[in-house]
Structures are given as structure tokens and as C-alpha cells.
Amino acid sequence: MAVLTFVYGALLAAWLMVCVWSLYNLPILMAGVRNLRKGRKRVFQSCLPSFSVIVPVKDEEKVIGRFLEAMSRVDYCHDRVEVITVEDGSTDKTSEICREFAESHGDLCVRNLHGQSSNGKPCALNLGLREAKGDIVAVFDADSVPAPDVLLNVCKYFDEPSVAAVQGRTMSINEDQNMLTKFISYEDAVWSEAYLRGKDALDLFVHLRGTCQFIRRSVLAELGNFDEGTLSEDMELSARLTERGYRIRYGSDVCSMQESPAVLKTLLKQRIRWCRGMMEVAFRYGRLMAKPSRKSVDAEATLFAPVILIVSLLTYFAASYLVLAPNNLGLLMSLASRIAFLSMTLTLILSSLALIYSAKPRKISSILWLPFVYSYYTLQTLIAIYAVGLIVLRRPRRWIKTEKTGTIKVNHSINTGG
């Protein structure tokens, strides 16, 4: 009887957690969808800042030339832009491609640095920072293809002194390669154009995503640059900025394309690193709750998302069964299961609206992908469980590079209309 009472209480607590989580995120998604429909007006600064664009590269011969060509076409004063590639441990022609590009494009300042050892992306970024001279540090991955107006559009966000960083919008350059890349492109669209946009509109915790991100160099110097001991340097920096009272903005018109994982094995490696990195940052910055505020609470809620994901999917299946099947549960349990089912269903409906508005071109048929949400998030739950296991067992942290192929399969170009 005691065991049954414990299970009953644990299930009720889990449902209540899911209800709170879903109801908490509904206003964010609603704000994002509403803001998405309105779009944004473009306002440009009269005094343009200088940029240091840092790109960590390792065995990127298939994509680095494409990135450098895109940077040469950026609509910005080239004498106010420097591109710094940081290469460490490449065994292909990456270094040669970077060197040849620098020699053949004298109008754009391209500097190529070489690290003595390969210790992951944060180490490469800090090596580039030691040489950076720009007012704003931009970070891109080697497979990125920035829009021509990416630097012009990001300038206006830094008009506010409290804004220390801006996260731009990333879109898939190979979304039509297969079913996996198509779904990832939709996931990114909902996450960026609904969730991050909603957080920005409500002045909540907007986090950096590792690429197409922009940070004031003076602020980075004040914070001691990137943390080289984490698997998620973007999330860690986001938490540090929030702790210091700085603001991070989301720029929907600051666009760059990038390659989505086209093979399940590659996706699993990438997401396991992301999940473990997020949760380690969440535990490390639990001190944000010592002085609770709307933004600090939202930061912890965001960072603990993998844990909530595990609880929410399991309880949603349980709630769905109890709502649809006859049962003899008490009033409180029945009410909790129905609220959990309803709140998560509303979240799914808002996600479908975000899909319609964020997909280019906008099509009602985009919602036909929603049945795959369940299987995809089941996979994400398994990834989160595995990442939790790595933390509990204290497995060594390993920076695993996401392999790129240089594939371009997309039926639209970068649209920055908002």
C-alpha cells in the first residue's frame, strides 16, 4: 500500500510539473507567433561598429571555401571587417583553402591562425579572441552561409548599451536532402521564430546557439572569454551574461544558413553533447535562483529543458491513456491528467501555427509534419536519458565534431523580411 501511495504521489507530482511547464511556455509561444505575424521594421545605425568574425575550423575542406565566399559578398564596409579562421589538427586541405583565399581576396581581411593542439571549439574561439580587434565578435561555424545583410541588420540591436549579445536566425541549407533534414529545419524554425522570438518580445532569457551569434568584445574580455571546460560554451556564456545583468537579443532578420545532420548517427552525437552541456550548465548556474527574477527563473527553466523533456513525454503518454481510457482514479488525479493532456495539446497546436508562419514559403500543408513530432521527441527523450546517464556516471567530457558534407538542397534562398 505504501508503494502504491508513493507511485500515486510521484505521478501526480510529475503531471503537475508538466502542467506548470506547458502553461509557462504557452505565453512565450503565443508572443512569438504574434510577433512573427507582425514582422520587424529595419532601423540602421549611423555609426557602424567593426566586426571580428571568428570561425573555428578542423577538417572543413568541403565547406570552408563556401563560407569565405559568402563573407566576401557581405554588404558591409570591408575595412571594418576581419575574418579570423582558427585551424587546429586538420588533416585535409582546410589550411590551404584558407590561405589561398586570403591571398586572392585582398579587399577582405582574412587571417588564418593555427592552434598547437585540438581541444574543442571554445579553445579555438579563445585563440581567435586574442587576435581580434573588432568592436563586435561574430561567431560562425565553417558550414555557415551568412546572408549579405547579416552584419548591417545586427548593428541596430547593439544601439542599446544593455545588449551584450545577439543571436541570429539559422536556417537549413540542406533541408530537402531527406526526411530527417526536413524535420530538423522545421524544428529550428519553430524554436527560433516562435520560442526565441517570444522570449525576446517578453524580455526573458534568450540564449546563444553557437553560430550566427554576436557579442561585444569588451564584454567578453570582462567575463574572461569562453569557458574551455564546457561542452556547451554558448549556453554557459548565455548564463554568465544573464548572471551579470546583460541582455541577449534575438535577431530574426540576422540570417545565416547552415547544414543540418542528414544521418541519424551524426544527429545523435550532436544532440547528446548539447543535452549534457545544457544540464551541466543548469546545475552549475543554479545560483541564479539565489536572487530570483523573471529572467533568472526562465534561464534555469530553459537549461533544465532536457530533464523536463524526459518527465513530460512519459507523463503525456500516461495522461493520454488515462484521459481516453476508463479509470477509477480520484478527482485530483483525473483533473491533473486532463490538465496535463490539454496544456501539452495546446502547445502542439501553437507549434503548428509557428510551422505555418515560419516555413518559407508559408503552406498550411506544413502541419502534416506534426505527426512525426511524437516519434522525434521520443528520440530526443532517449537522448536526454542517455546524457543524464553520462553525467551520473561521470563519464569524461569529449568534444565530438559534427561532420559536414557541403550538401546544398534547399528550395528557397535566405529571406530576411521578418
Q: Encode 58-93: b = buried (16+ Cβ within 10 Å), e = exposed.
A: bbbbbbbbbbbebbbebebeeeebbbbbbbbebeeb
Q: Roughly what angle, to the nearest 10 degrees, separates helices 264-284 and 305-324?
A: 110
Please state the pTM of the whole predicted model. 0.84
pLDDT at 416: 41
Contact 18, 311 (CB under 8 A): yes
Q: Is 99 exposed, middle or buried (0-12, 13-18, 19+ CB in 10 A)?
A: middle
User: Strand 213-216 vs strand 247-258: parallel, antiparallel, or unpaired?
Assistant: unpaired
Q: What's the pLDDT tens digit per position in 301-330?
A: 899 888 887 877 666 666 666 656 655 555
CA gap 318, 88 in Å, rounded: 49
Contact 136, 214 (CB under 8 A): yes
**Residues of the chain with confidence (pLDDT) below 50:** 42-43, 415-418
Q: 261: cis peptide before it, omega within 30°?
A: no
Closest CA to 146 of 181, 111, 170, 112: 170
Which DSSP helix (H) or strand (E) runs through 17?
helix 2-38
- Sketch out the chain's domains with CATH numbers: 2-36+294-392 (no CATH), 41-261 (3.90.550.10)
pLDDT at 157: 95
Amino acid (one-letter) located at 270: Q
Q: What's the pLDDT tens digit per position in 145-184?
A: 999 999 999 999 999 889 999 999 999 999 999 988 988 8
Residue identified by cell 548599451 is 161
Between the CA of residue 116 and those of 53, 147, 233, 400, 417, what are the distances in Å? 21, 32, 20, 18, 43
Q: How many Cβ atoms are within 10 Å of 326's Cβ, its own excluded?
A: 5
- Look at residue 249 and give its three-state secondary structure: strand
pLDDT at 310: 81
pLDDT at 380: 83
Task: Supply the DSSP symbol for 168.
Answer: E
